[in-house]
Structures are given as structure tokens and as C-alpha cells.
Chains A and B, each alone.
Chain A
Amino acid sequence: MTQANLPAWARLRVSRRHEKFIQVLLFLCAALSVLTTAAIILVLLGNAVYAPGAKKAFFEHVSVWEFLTGTHWKPVEGESGRFGILPLLSGTVMVAVIASLVSVPAGLGAAIYMSEYAAPAEREFLKPVLEVLAGIPSVVYGFFALKFITPWILKPALSLFGLDLGTFNVLSAGIVVGIMVTPLIASLSEDVIRSVPRSLREAAYALGSTRFDVSARVVVPAALSGILAAFLLAFSRAIGETMAVVIAGGQQPIATLNPLRGAQTMTSFMVHASTGDSAADSISRMSIYAIGITLFVITLTINLISGWILRRYREVYQ
């Protein structure tokens, strides 16, 4: 049937081609993130595992075993070069653990306060303030740690115990990364805490609970899977954090668990190596890609675990 034979109401007056155009445009937006991820993985693998052409990939110079278990990181050309990731890993893990020790109690406490204690007006005020905290660039946090937390808080406090603190130290870097990820934990936890049904809270109050009983014995356990997932996401953010750690944490790749000294993390080495003057195909430059893969695998694993916890342990309320 042609258009002319159709009754007036069924005749297409405007072209619908723009509909198709919008659909394609939206698909490209969605495809962009997938393509980017694929490209990143390709670049990482292409420099770390197998390089096409004359260039040799990182793992063709250094064995995976040496890379994962070596305790010395000395990224120089020739025989004296050592590429064991453990010193960088210990720096990264220390920062992430210290950040968690700060952010888990602070973030969870803030979430409980906002959802269970705060009056609506207070909550309206607190939420945007937390978002502002999350919006501060991480380079600012780095200088805040270097110029304020280390000299004005940690040094005087630790000197009371006779402890000496380096100008660059993992402790202040960890603390400031903890402050950075606190809004993430607070906001994600508050969402899951608020999704605990009101009826559960009322039942707890009706049994003679105080506000704290309701929060600690009913609401938080009921929201635990979501809260754990929030912790893990924040932990993986802390592992990947770069600028604050570069500025406050120092650049010495030493395998140590002493947070009072400086250390290099995986991310801060990557910044260091890519801004240095080593040649583009030097082994130290290539090591960036191997570290990149390691970071990628660690954070991906943590994110997958957190997603799994969310699905597996979600309480279903009818």
C-alpha cells in the first residue's frame, strides 16, 4: 500500500529518519566506553606481554615470576635493573589499608547519622557538603597532606611518643586518601541503609530499642551486603588513587610496612616513570604497562567481588 492510499491519520507527514539517527548516536555513546576499555587492555597487553615487531615487551625481558615475587624495584637499563613489584605493592596496600581504617568508620558513621539520626533539614545540608568533599581535586588533597596533616598534626602527635616522621610518608598519604573516599562510602552506604524497609525499624522500636539499637542491631546488619560492597569499591578507589599519593607519599621504592617512612606506590611510580626522561622503549618505561595490568587486575577483581557480594547476600524484602 502506498502513502496516498492510507487514510489521513495513518499518513507519515514528517520524516522519521531522525529517529534512526538518534538511535545510532546513542549506540555510539554506549559503544565508546566498551571500545575504550578494549583499547586500554590492548595497549597494556601489547607492551607488557607481547609486542609486535622489533620492540620487545616487558615480560620478554623480565619473567612474570620475578616481577611478582621480587623484593627490589630498581628500574634501570642493563644488568643492575631489578623489577620486583613487591615494594610498590606494599606501598599501595599500606595506603589502601590506612585509607580504609580512616574511611570505613567515618563513612559508615556519617551514613548512619544521615539516615537514622539527622532531621530532614540536617540531611539536606550534609549531603551536598559531602559531595563537595568528593569534588575536590586529588592534587589539592595531596598538598593538604604534605603541608598540613604531616607537619601540623602527625609530626607533633607522633613526637609525643618519640617517633620520627618523614616529610614524605605513607601515613599522611593514607589518611588523606581515606578522607577522599569517605564520601563514596557514606553516600553508597546511606543509599543501602535507607532502602531497609521502614517496617523493620518500626518493629525494632516497638520492641523497646533505642536509636542506636535500631541502627547497630537491625538496620546495619540488614544492609550489610551493600555496605561491604561500598567498602570494597572504596578500597579499590584507594588502590588506584594517584596524585595525593605522589605528592604526600614520596618516591622511594622500598619494601617496608612502616607507614612513617615514604614509599612508592604502583600509581606513583607510573607517574614518575612516564614524566621522566627515559626513552620510550626503555625497559623502565615498559614496566609501566606491566604495573598497569597488575592494577587493572586487582581493581577489577575487587569490583567483581563487591558485585558478587551485592547479588549473593542481598536480603529480599517483600
Chain B
Amino acid sequence: MPTITSGNVPPSVAGVDRELDMSAHSAAIEARRLNFFYGEHQVLFDVSLTVPERSVTALIGPSGCGKSTFLRTLNRMNDLIEGSRCQGEILVEGQNIMDPAVDVVLLRKHVGMVFQKSTPFPKSIFDNVAYGPRVAGEKNRAVLADLVESCLKKAALWEEVKDRLTTSAMSLSGGQQQRLCIARTLATNPRIILMDEPASALDPASTDRIENLIGELCANYTIVIVTHNMQQASRVSHQTAFFYKGQMVETGPTMKIFTHPSEKQTEDYITGRFG
């Protein structure tokens, strides 16, 4: 029977301290007793989770455990799904975003999202990054140019594309497209970034760049990332939450979850006994 020791856990990326007790940090997101249904089918059961600000929280668990659904409730992306319904409270910086008075358009600017499949619009690189600000009403060409440059720099893509900003984003490689999508999200000036398996379709080198990027971004942004890759979760996150069959089984500092999990199910999953 494999035992878990801290020796098995790969080193973290720069900027992520996995042993930090985040409970002292103020909360960016607090989900309280969240229940979620697709029609009659319940996929989340009483999920409560606190995400400390300016940190990375990884959501792990086997396929169908509800981690992606949970992530998508945090910017009300599930509103787009016909016949879905959500109960409970989600506080983003103290405001309950389930309140019908909350404007989802403004919420999604504040809580950005990066998807598993890179989804550049069939437009130029520049127009992709400038999309969010333009939708928000920014028309000044100089302001947009500055913003595009700074966001591409933050997403570690500027050097590769600065000479071809007007070419189609579809001409970029998969890894570049995903960093473009991150830059595009940064351009709406969010405080929180949700990432749904952002590197699962990428090669190891591109994955590495995305992980290092997460380590840099978490100094200024709160990041919640869903990943199937346990090594990745252990490398990039301060806090890890383990989901199983629609329930949040356990959460804690990443080092603790990966070395001394409290729950048997967590230990079984992390050591590869199922899932």
C-alpha cells in the first residue's frame, strides 16, 4: 500500500506557498450550503467552501464529482443552462451573487473565467484582448492599445505576438491561444479568475508555462482552478478542495491535503486507488 509522504509531492511553482494557513486571509468567495440541480438531478449537495483572496484554490475529484459545476456557479455561468437551479448562498467579497438584483454582466467582469478548450474569437489577437473593454464601452484607441499590451505581458504572451497583433488569433498554437484567453480575461479587470482545466488540452511545455503564470497571477488575483491533474493541483495551489459525488469532502492547505488528508476518501483518491 503506497504511503503518502511529503517526498511524493512535487515542488510548487514560484509564488505559491502550500503550507500557508490561509484561514487568516480575508475571504474572496464564501459558498454556503450550495445545492445545485440539473432538472430533477441533483449534482451538488450542501457544498460550503471559503476561498481566501490572492491565493490559488484547486478543486480536485473524479469526473462527474461536481467540481466544474461548482466552479461555474461562482460567475453564474450555469444560468445559461436551461432547467438548472441553484440553492444556497455564494458571497463574493461579501455580496450574495445569487441575489436576483445582482447584474450577471457586471459579475462576470469581476469574476473572469478561462475554459478547458481555448476559445479565441475568430478575430485578430488585438481584437480578442480588447473585446472585454470594448463591450464595456471603451473606444479610445490609445487606452485599448495600452491595455492590450499590459494584459499580454501579464499573460506572458507579449514577446511572442507583439509584432503580429493584427493577425488572426486562430493562427496561434494551442498553448498561445490559452494564454491569449487568459490575457483576454485579465483585460476585463477581474478580481477573481476561475479556471476550468486550463491546461488539460496542452502539451507539457505549454502546461508548464500556464502553471508558472498562475504562480505569478496569484499575487494580484484570486484564482480557483479545476484540474484532473493531481500533480498540477499540488504544484499550483495554496488550498485544495476534494469533491466526490457532489459533496465537498475535505479542504485544507494543499500540503496537508496531499500529505495528511483527514478523510479516507481523499487519501484513496490522491494515492490513485480510484478515480
Also in contact, A208 and B132, with CB within 8 A (given A199-B117, A221-B123): yes
Residues of A102-126 whose CB lies within 8 A of B:
120
B131 in contact (CB, < 8 A):
yes
A77 in contact (CB, < 8 A):
no
Q: Which of B7-15, B22-30, B102-110, B144-152 contacts A (4 or more CB under 8 A)?
A: B102-110
B184: chain A residues within 8 A (beta carbon): 207
Q: In the complex, A220→B170 CA distance in Å? A: 17
Pairwise interchain contact B82-A210, C-beta atoms closer than 8 A: no
Q: In the complex, A315→B75 CA distance in Å? A: 29
Also in contact, A218 and B105, with CB within 8 A (given A206-B75, A206-B113, A206-B185): no
Q: Mark A297-318, 1 if CB is under 8 A from B, else 0.
A: 0000000000000000001100
A271: chain B residues within 8 A (beta carbon): none
Interface size on A, residues (CB 8 A): 21
Also in contact, A203 and B132, with CB within 8 A (given A208-B105, A208-B188, A315-B170): no
Pairwise interchain contact B185-A207, C-beta atoms closer than 8 A: yes
Pairwise interchain contact B108-A208, C-beta atoms closer than 8 A: yes
A222 in contact (CB, < 8 A):
yes
A210: chain B residues within 8 A (beta carbon): 105, 135
Pairwise interchain contact A207-B80, C-beta atoms closer than 8 A: no
A205: chain B residues within 8 A (beta carbon): 77, 80, 108
Q: In the complex, A213→B109 CA distance in Å? A: 14
A204: chain B residues within 8 A (beta carbon): 121, 131
Q: In the complex, A120→B81 CA distance in Å? A: 12
Q: How far in angstroms is the closest Cβ of chain B from A11?
A: 51
B112 in contact (CB, < 8 A):
yes
Pairwise interchain contact B132-A207, C-beta atoms closer than 8 A: yes
A217 in contact (CB, < 8 A):
yes
A202: chain B residues within 8 A (beta carbon): 77, 80, 115, 119
Pairwise interchain contact A207-B122, C-beta atoms closer than 8 A: no
B219 in contact (CB, < 8 A):
no
Q: In the complex, A88→B271 CA distance in Å? A: 81
Pairwise interchain contact B105-A203, C-beta atoms closer than 8 A: no
Pairwise interchain contact A199-B119, C-beta atoms closer than 8 A: yes
Residues of B111-129 whose CB lies within 8 A of A:
112-113, 115, 117, 119, 121-123
Q: Who on chain B is nearest to A209 by CB?
A: B135
Q: How far in angstroms is the closest Cβ of chain A from B125?
A: 15
Pairwise interchain contact A222-B119, C-beta atoms closer than 8 A: no
Pairwise interchain contact B170-A207, C-beta atoms closer than 8 A: no
B143 in contact (CB, < 8 A):
no
Pairwise interchain contact B119-A200, C-beta atoms closer than 8 A: yes
Q: How far in angstroms is the closest Cβ of chain A from B20?
A: 29
Pairwise interchain contact B119-A213, C-beta atoms closer than 8 A: no
Also in contact, A207 and B123, with CB within 8 A (given A199-B117, A217-B131, A315-B170): no
Q: In the complex, A123→B21 CA distance in Å? A: 52
Most buried by A among B75, B121, B185: B121
Q: In the complex, A207→B75 CA distance in Å? A: 10
Q: How far in angstroms is the closest Cβ of chain B from A223?
A: 10
B188: chain A residues within 8 A (beta carbon): 207-208
Residues of A200-234 whose CB lies within 8 A of B:
200-210, 213, 217-218, 221-222
Residues of A269-318 whose CB lies within 8 A of B:
315-316
Q: How far in angstroms is the closest Cβ of chain A from B174?
A: 9
Q: In the complex, A213→B82 CA distance in Å? A: 20
Also in contact, A213 and B108, with CB within 8 A (given A206-B75, A222-B122, A315-B122): no
Most buried by B among A203, A210, A222: A203
Pairwise interchain contact B135-A208, C-beta atoms closer than 8 A: yes
Q: Who on chain A is nearest to B109 by CB?
A: A208
Pairwise interchain contact A207-B77, C-beta atoms closer than 8 A: no
B135: chain A residues within 8 A (beta carbon): 207-210, 213, 217
Q: Mark A239-259, 1 if CB is under 8 A from B, else 0.
A: 000000000000000000000
Q: Who on chain A is nearest to B79 by CB?
A: A205
Q: How far in angstroms is the closest Cβ of chain A from B270?
A: 30
B136 in contact (CB, < 8 A):
yes
B90 in contact (CB, < 8 A):
no
B213 in contact (CB, < 8 A):
no
Q: In the complex, A208→B76 CA distance in Å? A: 11
Q: In the complex, A201→B80 CA distance in Å? A: 10
A315: chain B residues within 8 A (beta carbon): 122, 170
Most buried by A among B117, B134, B170: B117
User: CB within 8 Å of B: which residues of A?
Assistant: 120, 197, 199-210, 213, 217-218, 221-222, 315-316
User: CB within 8 Å of A: which residues of B?
Assistant: 75, 77, 80, 82, 105-106, 108-109, 112-113, 115, 117, 119, 121-123, 131-132, 134-136, 170, 181, 184-185, 188
Q: List 12 A-B contacts (CB under 8 A).
A: A203-B119, A203-B121, A206-B75, A206-B77, A206-B108, A206-B112, A206-B115, A207-B132, A207-B135, A207-B185, A208-B106, A209-B105
Extra 17 A-B pairs, beta carbons < 8 Å, given A203-B119, A315-B170:
A120-B82, A202-B80, A202-B119, A203-B115, A203-B121, A203-B181, A205-B77, A206-B113, A207-B108, A207-B185, A207-B188, A208-B108, A208-B135, A208-B136, A209-B135, A210-B135, A217-B131
Q: Which 3 A-B pairs have the closest CB atoms?
A: A208-B109, A203-B119, A206-B113
